[in-house]
Amino acid sequence: MKKIFLKDIKKYNGKNVRIDGWIRNKRSSGKIQFLILRDGTDEIQAVAFLPNIGEEKFKLCEKLTIESSVKISGNVREDKRAPSGYELDITNIEIIQIADEFPIQKKEHGVTFLLDNRHLWLRSKKQNALLKIRHSIYYAICNYLDKNDFYRFDAPILTPNACEGTTTLFEVPYFDEGSAYLSQSGQLYLETGIMSLGKVYDFGPTFRAEKSKTRKHLTEFWMMDAEAAFVEHKENMKIQEELIRYVIRAVLKRNQKELKLLERDIVRLEKADAPFKIITYKETIEKLQKKGSKIKYGDDFGAQEEEIITEDSDVPIFVEKWPKQIKPFYMKLDREDKKLSLCSDLIAPEKFGEIIGGSEREDDYDILKSRLEEENIPIKEYQWYLDLRKYGTIPHSGFGLGFERLIGWISGVRHIRETIPFPRMINRLTP
Ligand code: 4AD
Ligand code: MG
């Protein structure tokens, strides 16, 4: 008997196959029982018909509870009315375990209950679809980068100093050094990597002790940082645009079924695969003020401002050239106006907010040193970073993509907690 996965069911029409999985649901009427069987890849209605399988096996089926684990054999039969287009006529069943009463039922549950049961909630159809989209986006990003000659370069997680400001650092005890900090972004290390490899990226968990309790903030989230030698600010944005459009196309190609299940407006997603817009920070402030916002030049954007910025746009918008005081020390100063940083935030449409932050990096030793001094950052700790500007400095740029933010936008899921298997937020560390 051939063991198969449900995603491949088409190939086995008329054949007898075995599927290992769990019972999603069941109902019965007299001599017939309908079991919804899921195996991770998909699900199918399996039919137990008493005259066909005999009393003993029929009784086994009766014992099954939701989430019981089984090995089921049966004949695959095409059925236009079935959601997957196929049904399985059971010929044999082996029970691995009869599950206890499953805590997550068909009814509505509160979010706290679902998060407390995240280890079980992950099995639901919607969470399964989100996990599949997360997987596709991950590989699409890596494929794009690989095709475009970015080498994977793994930055450390335990670091001696901050990349994105000291207020959101997680501190951990570290032997004789005293303290280490969980990485906020691999960027500074990637800048060393390009001096060896030209173009590099990392992709992994990053940490921010974010005090903000919003639907866009996690304390542990995944970031893909990319960095490229001899790339300047404008080209940096071009790379980001190409990458995001590549990812959208990949998901539209691979995950139609999941997007539909999540009730994603697919047309809106298709529309985002068009040239992105670029506007300056200054123009953005003016636009916001015209729309009634109280924001002043020099302020950072909050969630509300980000939502207004893209409200009449189908595509993401780059907001470029921010005042240097509200951006990190490593960003290159605009040589035409040294009060500005050559940077960009990429804001997703449909109120999803910032998904990427990037910039050209300051490549002049003296300017970078004075930027560190201005921000009262100890030079000694960043000497290794300054060294890069001493030994063959070059124009270079990079960006960091918030993986969960991108998943949220592409899948249309409003709260970031559902875009990662086990969300970590200020008030959530378990399970
Ligand atoms: O804009 P950020 O802070 O940029 C950096 O860390 C740069 N060093 C990256 C680089 O240039 N290589 O963070 C990058 C992205 C943001 O645009 C956002 O999408 C996401 O990371 N992000 C978060 N996602 C979830 N939860 C949080 N607390 C996040 N903070 C940032
Ligand atoms: Mg940012």
pLDDT truncated to tens, each residue of the chain (431 aa)? 899 999 999 999 999 999 999 999 999 999 999 999 999 999 999 999 999 999 999 999 999 999 999 999 999 999 999 988 999 999 999 999 999 999 999 889 999 999 999 999 999 999 999 999 999 999 999 999 999 999 999 999 999 988 888 889 999 999 998 999 999 999 999 999 999 999 999 999 999 998 888 999 999 999 999 999 999 999 999 999 999 999 999 999 999 999 999 999 999 999 999 999 999 999 999 999 999 999 999 999 999 999 999 999 999 999 999 999 999 999 999 999 999 999 999 999 999 999 999 999 999 999 999 999 999 999 999 999 999 999 999 999 999 999 999 999 999 999 999 999 999 999 999 99
* Total residue count of the chain as it appears in this document: 431
Report which bound ligand comes closest to the CA of 165. 1
**Shortest-distance Cα residue to atom 29 of ligand 1:** 217
Report which bound ligand comes closest to the CA of 184. 1
Task: Based on the fold, state whether residues 220 and 354 are members of the same structural domain.
Answer: yes
| C-beta 87 within 6 A of ligand 1 | no
CA distance 318 to 3: 49
Which of 167, 211, 221 to probe ligand 1 with, by most ligand atoms within 8 A of CB? 221
Task: Extract the tokens encoding 42.
Answer: 């998909």
88 phi and psi angles, rounded to 5 deg: -120, 120
Report which bound ligand comes closest to the CA of 210. 1
**Shortest-distance Cα residue to atom 23 of ligand 1:** 402
Q: How far is the CA of 87 from the centre of ligand 1 (A)?
A: 46
Taking alpha carbons only, the member of 76, 31, 30 closest to residue 53 is: 31
Task: Based on the fold, state whether residues 231 and 128 are members of the same structural domain.
Answer: yes
Look up tokens 């909050």; give the residue.
302
Task: Based on the fold, state whether residues 8 and 46 are members of the same structural domain.
Answer: yes
Taking alpha carbons only, the member of 362, 397, 368 closest to residue 382 is: 368
Tell me if 417 sits within 8 A of 425, measured CB to CB. yes
Q: How far is the CA of 178 from the centre of ligand 2 (A)?
A: 29
Task: Based on the fold, state whether residues 30 and 128 are members of the same structural domain.
Answer: no
Number of other CB atoms surrounding residue 415 within 10 Å: 12
CATH code of the domain containing 77: 2.40.50.140
Tell me if 36 sits within 8 A of 67, measured CB to CB. no
CA dihedral over 359, 360, 365, 370, signed as positive or negative: negative
Taking alpha carbons only, the member of 64, 54, 63, 65 closest to residue 92 is: 54
Whether 106 is in a domain gets the answer no
Whole-model pTM: value is 0.97
CA distance 45 to 76: 10
Tell me if 357 sits within 8 A of 418, measured CB to CB. no
Report which bound ligand comes closest to the CA of 361. 1
Task: Extract the tokens encoding 273.
Answer: 């695969």
CA dihedral over 318, 322, 325, 326, signed as positive or negative: negative
Lateral strand order in the sheet of 171-174: 158-159, 178-182, 171-174
Which of 405, 414, 415, 420 to probe ligand 1 with, by most ligand atoms within 8 A of CB? 405
Cβ-count burial 266-284 (b if 16+ within 10 Å, e if not) = eeebeebbeebbbbebeeb
Task: Based on the fold, state whether residues 303 and 337 are members of the same structural domain.
Answer: yes
| C-beta 402 within 6 A of ligand 1 | yes
CATH code of the domain containing 367: 3.30.930.10
Whether 424 is in a domain gets the answer no
Q: Give the structural domain span for 56.
A: 2-97
Q: Residue 325 gets which letter from DSSP?
A: G
Tell me if 354 sits within 8 A of 405, measured CB to CB. yes
298 phi and psi angles, rounded to 5 deg: 105, -15
Whether 9 is in a domain gets the answer yes
Which of 181, 185, 327 to probe ligand 1 with, by most ligand atoms within 8 A of CB? 185
Q: How far is the CA of 179 from the centre of ligand 1 (A)?
A: 23
